[in-house]
Structure 1
Amino acid sequence: MFRPELLCPAGDEEKFFTALTYGADALYLGGEELSLRAKTKGFSLQNLSSFIQIAHNQQVKVYFCLNILAQEKHLPQVQAYLEQLKATEVDGLIIADPGVISLAQKIAPHIPIHLSTQANTSNSASILFWQSQGVKRVNLARELDHRQIAQIKAQVGERVELEVFVHGAMCMAISGRCFLSSYLNQRSANLGLCTHPCRFEYKLIEKTREQELFEVQEEEFSKILASEDLGLIKYLNWFKKKKIHSLKIEGRNKTTSYLARTVDAYKTALLDLEKKQFSLPRYYSYLEPSLTRPLSTGFFLSQRKILLHPLAQKKAILGQVAESIDSNTYTLKVKSRWDTTKKVNLLLPRLKKITLEPKDYALEKENGERVSLAHPGLTYVFKTDSPYLAPHLLLEEV
């Protein structure tokens, strides 16, 4: 039975393990440079092979991003990256620039090439052109609606794998090729340095009243250039029926809370489709706490629809389990102020929650001193007899 691959972001080591834990079928990540996410820690090429092996041990693929629109000065560095990548077992290279594709084919011809959405591929002729250049998979332009995607799939068939973004932040520019950040702040979005000026709040000046500023408003917003986030979980069955190979979640810069909830909701929904138990309200309820902007259909429908709004008040993610010390003792990274006299929920994969009473757990300092109030940014020892605890799981307020 066909099930689309769920492709998830891994901006750093913590997010890598979070996505693995909550159900990723494949991960996309980058190095410390050249991957359009300069603000993420990324992965050193020296340690990359060990992470690839961890993923492969769980039957999860790893794709490496080299998707900047390279300038001349970047080419020696791109070649150096490729020389090191060719010795790894990475499952694919995500590339946007034709020159970088050419270099990859010369230096590491055995690694499959996936064309980035930055290439703005919006028709079957372009896809077949890229196939003739050795590209195995194409991430379609985000500006396509469902009819256009279906037409492309009908023309391309199984000759080239198709990948589509289904969840996460959207750029107001065509396929992310934005120059606002470069123009306003001298930091190029096409080199991974976007300062997100589309999220700024703007005011309007009318020519004859230059001293009078007007707020630019659209509904309750003054961020007129800011798009909503994309959320197509409602349409997963459509993607499955059309046999779209890979469904991609945006978010290498997002929090582990966002990543855990989003990956888990989409993976659970895909599995539920197979069991004919698809339950959209359940997934929406689980996604809501991760939202910072309204969730919409983007370009997928002929008319954009807002599907979900952020919650006014959210339950805080209190911490994330790090490593196991013994059968009932773990290290734990605290992410929000944590009153240990209160209940907490342990978030398990497949949207399950286990409630721990205050008597069921303890937080301690390294010296064994028990704490009643834990502070974000610190690591503590977490003790519990609960059989459900495991590394990389999140805990939230009840």
Structure 2
Amino acid sequence: MHVIPELLVPVGSPDKLATALRYGADAVYLGGQALSLRAKTDGFSFSQLRDAVNLAHAGGTKVYFAMNLLAWEEHLPGVEAYLEELAGIDVDGLIIADPGIMSMAMKRVPHIPIHVSTQVSTSNSATAAFWRDLGARRINVARELGAARIRAMVRNVPDLEFEVFVHGAMCMAVSGRCLLSSHLTRRSGNLGQCTHPCRFDYKVTAVRLEERLRPGEDTWEIQCGGEFSQVMAAEDLCLIKYLNWFRNNGVASLKIEGRMKTPSYLAQVTDVYRTALDDLAAGTFRPGLYLEELQQLATRPLTSAFFTPQPVTLLPALSRSLTKNIVGRLVEPTGDDRWVMDVKHRFETGSPLEILFPGLRRPVLGADDYGVENAEGELLPTVHGGMRVVLRCAYPGLEAGMFLRAHHPGVYNSQAG
């Protein structure tokens, strides 16, 4: 029997946890305020972590805690302190990359399953079995693997769970083990401090390499115009079209990248993958719809990357003029069909807006369906990002934390579906 894989969603703060739960995560991964690979997120204090676990477990959602830095000697006392605190918190797994931290965890918190991070670059079944024999429950496979190699690992080590990244930003280095940030900014990506210099704009006039034993033969050549460009930036991963393959080949968990992404991004991408997995189970899979929605979030082209024999660019990024901007987020009801709303982007009152309901429901509000007021009850013709306003709207089913976005026809290449 083929089982629908778990949907594993990143949460970098308690606010993002609430968003992930609302839009359908089966499991979430998060970190503390140190010792994970997203040091620039707020992270969770131990008190917040306890509350997060209780909230998630109340709805049947699992919580995996990331301690996936590659530690220096001076980090080890902090690791000990973290493990002591985690002993009394009912997390469902520890995401670990450093073998020493794994050994410490198995001694201090042997009841918590170990999930081996993608930072370890597990790329074959022998390595997977090695980690299993040391006590690991799950492997997040190297991000450089194609479908055939993932299938072989799952079949050859059937008593391990396998987890695969299916969506989000990709690192230019092997499974994220990059030294570029350390070299250029003295902030180590392997300690969660990556400044993403591969996304910086560079200007290359010409680079031509010739190897000594092959004179006259170019081994590498880059030519660029006079403008700056993101010459090292990878496209973004998107494997939404291949969900049935993951189900049929026994992959346990599908992981989304993005603990540093905004709550609105998290809401939309979680909603797409949750709906797609539910549709897959129901036999109503609609890849064109999912790609159209994901294109609204893309700042770079979406690609199949290493998963397919040759990378397939599924969709280009939309121009800013065609993107449906998130314009507001509901904060709390005030009665009489009114909601406090934080404005995220400028919009004209009366312009059509979409409500982001779970299940890819996107009802459109017309000019007669809503109004926007200030605290004194005065109607506002235009609102701007950063304002807190009152939304007057009687649409049923609204909840605090939901988002509204601008409505206009998007651009979608039907051949990609």
1:310 is aligned with what amino acid?
A: A
TM-superposed CA distance for 1:367, in Å, is 4.6
Contact 1:234 1:280 in 2 (8 A): yes
Residue matched to 1:278 = 285
Contact 2:206 2:222 in 1 (8 A): no
Contact 2:350 2:371 in 1 (8 A): no
TM-superposed CA distance for 1:392, in Å, is 1.8
SS at match of 2:306: coil
SS at match of 2:127: helix
Contact 1:289 1:314 in 2 (8 A): yes
Distance in 1 (alpha carbons) for counterparts of 2:15 and 2:341 = 12
TM-superposed CA distance for 1:377, in Å, is 2.4
Residue matched to 2:365 = 356
Change (3 A) 1:141 1:368: same
Change (3 A) 1:47 1:140: same
Change (3 A) 1:335 1:134: same
TM-superposed CA distance for 1:108, in Å, is 1.4
Change (3 A) 1:199 1:13: same
TM-superposed CA distance for 1:372, in Å, is 3.1
Residue matched to 1:121 = 122
Residue matched to 2:393 = 384
TM-superposed CA distance for 1:266, in Å, is 1.1
Residue matched to 2:187 = 187
SS at match of 1:315: coil
Contact 1:230 1:296 in 2 (8 A): yes
1:340 is aligned with what amino acid?
A: T
Q: Tell me whether 1:340 sits opposite 2:340 in the alignment.
A: no
Change (3 A) 1:387 1:95: same
Residue matched to 1:259 = 266
Q: Tell me whether 1:78 sits opposite 2:79 in the alignment.
A: yes
Distance in 2 (alpha carbons) for counterparts of 1:383 and 1:179 = 51
Q: Tell me whether 1:44 sits opposite 2:53 in the alignment.
A: no
TM-superposed CA distance for 1:217, in Å, is 4.1
Contact 1:230 1:295 in 2 (8 A): yes
Contact 2:337 2:393 in 1 (8 A): yes
Alignment of 1:228-307 (within 5 A): 228-307=235-314
SS at match of 2:372: strand
Instruction: Choose the corresponding residue for 2:329, options 320, 341, 348.
Output: 320
Change (3 A) 1:325 1:152: same
Contact 1:320 1:395 in 2 (8 A): yes
Change (3 A) 1:284 1:133: same
Contact 1:257 1:290 in 2 (8 A): no
Alignment of 1:55-66 (within 5 A): 55-66=56-67
Gaps of 5+ in 2: 209-220, 408-417
Greater alpha carbon shift after TM alignment, 223-232 vs 170-179: 223-232
Q: Tell me whether 1:171 sits opposite 2:178 in the alignment.
A: no
Contact 2:207 2:222 in 1 (8 A): no
Change (3 A) 1:344 1:360: same
Distance in 2 (alpha carbons) for counterparts of 1:169 and 1:251 = 8
Contact 2:353 2:366 in 1 (8 A): yes
Q: Give the TM-score of the pair, scaled to structure 1.
A: 0.93
Distance in 2 (alpha carbons) for counterparts of 1:354 and 1:136 = 42
Change (3 A) 1:338 1:216: same
1:337-361 CA-to-partner distances (Å, cap 9, x unmatched) read 1322322111111111112233333
Contact 1:29 1:42 in 2 (8 A): yes
Contact 1:318 1:336 in 2 (8 A): yes
2:7 is aligned with what amino acid?
A: L
Distance in 2 (alpha carbons) for counterparts of 1:40 and 1:58 = 25
TM-superposed CA distance for 1:207, in Å, is 8.5
Residue matched to 1:211 = none
SS at match of 1:153: helix
1:122-162 CA-to-partner distances (Å, cap 9, x unmatched) read 111111111121111110000110000011111011x1100
Distance in 1 (alpha carbons) for counterparts of 2:206 and 2:399 = 59
1:31-73 CA-to-partner distances (Å, cap 9, x unmatched) read 1221111121111112211111111111111111111111111
Residue matched to 2:69 = 68
Contact 1:163 1:248 in 2 (8 A): yes
1:231 is aligned with what amino acid?
A: C
Contact 1:92 1:114 in 2 (8 A): yes
SS at match of 1:187: coil
RMSD: 2.1
1:297-336 CA-to-partner distances (Å, cap 9, x unmatched) read 1110111111111111212100112234457343322111
Contact 1:49 1:88 in 2 (8 A): yes
Gaps of 5+ in 1: 209-213
**Matched residue count:** 391
TM-superposed CA distance for 1:247, in Å, is 0.2
TM-superposed CA distance for 1:362, in Å, is 3.4
